[in-house]
């Protein structure tokens, strides 16, 4: 039981160094009651929402094609472009990981060659 309480404390970021696990559990309960209640969470989410930049698909993101007279078509084209760019970013990440793995393999081979020469 003490290990489970210590794990809970660690997960919540509550100090778990008190020798009595019951006190640590009470500290967790207080933290949950004060910091994780719906009002506190809503307040935190509202603050985070204010910090986040919004992408205005209607005007700020380039269309990438000739504009259509129908605004719904323009917004759809922008959304498709954003999704395509997101997919491209994922592909680029995969390529980068592959290049890093290749470079590491080459570096290991060079290291092995140097060791063999000695």
Model confidence over 70-83: pLDDT tens digits? 777 777 777 788 78
Q: Is 57 exposed, middle or buried (0-12, 13-18, 19+ CB in 10 A)?
A: middle
Q: Give the whole-angstrom CA distance, residue 65 versus residue 51.
A: 31
Q: What is the pTM of this model?
A: 0.38
> What's the pLDDT score for residue 101?
93
Same domain, 46 and 86: no
- Name the DSSP letter for residue 115: H
Give 66's pLDDT tier (boundaries 50, 70, 90).
Answer: low
Mean pLDDT is lowest, of 49-53, 68-72, 82-86, for: 49-53
Same domain, 63 and 115: yes
Same domain, 118 and 63: yes
Count how many domains the chain has.
2
* Contact present, 43 and 33 (Cβ < 8 Å): no
């Amino acid at each position: 039981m003490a290990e489970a309480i210590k794990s809970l404390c660690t997960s919540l970021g509550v100090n778990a160094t008190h020798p009595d696990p019951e006190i640590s559990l009470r500290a967790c309960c207080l933290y949950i009651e004060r910091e994780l209640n719906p009002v506190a969470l809503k307040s935190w989410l509202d603050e985070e929402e204010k910090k986040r930049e919004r992408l205005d698909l209607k005007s700020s993101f380039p269309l990438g094609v000739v504009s259509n007279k129908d605004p719904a078509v323009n917004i759809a084209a922008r959304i498709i472009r954003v999704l395509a760019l997101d997919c491209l970013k994922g592909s680029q990440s995969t390529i980068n990981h592959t290049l890093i793995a290749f470079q590491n393999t080459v570096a290991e081979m060079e290291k092995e060659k140097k060791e063999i020469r000695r």
